[in-house]
Structure 1
Amino acid sequence: MDTATVTHLVTVDDTARALGSGDLDVLATPRVLAWCEEATCAALVLDATQTSVGTRVDLEHLAATRVGVQVTATATVIHTDGRLVRFQVVAHDSDGTVLATGEVRRVVVDRERFLARIAPVGD
């Protein structure tokens, strides 16, 4: 199975207060999700003409994390069906506490064809 891990240090820019998802200075759920998605992208091996887009997320944020703590997000491919790839994701802190867990789905697309379908701003 393809697996990738990313590690980040929680800063004030990663807090719920900074991201507008709450008013506390703890790791924001949107940031945990972004780090989990970063790990899913890292787990994919694509050629230069391909990219992937997120299509579904199911994430349970289980524990609060303060600024200054190191967080590791890991994504593991659990299923592929053509262009669809499903990942199990888990984020934990440096003490091993599980902070979040869930599933992310991505679809592999042709980069140029995908972008060609999106109308430029102002059209």
Structure 2
Amino acid sequence: MQEQPDRVLTPGLAARVEMTVTDDDTAQAVGSGDVPVLGTPRVLALAEAATVAATARHLPAGTTTVGTRVELEHLAATPVGRTVTAQARLTAVDKRRLTFEVTVVEGEQTVAQGRVERVVLDRQRFIERAGRSS
């Protein structure tokens, strides 16, 4: 896997993504609890979407990233109808391993924070291997 000069993964890359919480995003709907507030699995999915967005334009052709490790503190409840924003910042690059700091906020309140690790790999080879393992 060779990197092209204009596609370099360096610390500092960042992205933000946002979503408005719907009934489908609640802990009740996703099976992670029985309360009608933003469920932790959806918080994690939003945080991971921010990590993907942070590197999408910088990956070498034919590569992708997959999540390998997550540390996430879900600190505050978010009711249906509110908008949350996830921000991811690439903090470390160790060969193919990427480490991101992630924060999810609603207005000024921190909803969640943590760290996500992803690995850069050949997209086609990964899909082929995944198909063989089932």
TM-score for the superposition, normalised by structure 1: 0.94
Which stretch has the larger CA shift, 20-29 or 46-55? 46-55
- State the alpha-carbon separation in 2 of the partners of residues 67 and 119 from structure 1: 37
For structure 2, which runs of at least 5 residues remain unmatched after alignment?
1-11
Partner of 1:38: 49
Shift of 1:47: 3.4
Residue 65 of structure 1: aligned partner: 78
Cα RMSD of the aligned pairs, angstroms, is 1.3
Cα deviation for residue 120 of structure 1 reads 4.9
2:117 is equivalent to residue 100 of structure 1: no
Structure 1 counterpart of 2:46, which letter?
W
Shift of 1:48: 3.6
* More helix per residue: 2
Runs of 4+ in structure 1 deviating by more than 4 angstroms, as ranges, are none
Give percent identity, aligned residues only. Answer: 51
Matched, 1:114 2:126: yes
- Normalising by structure 2, we get a TM-score of 0.87
Count of aligned positions: 121
| Aligned match of 1:87 | 100
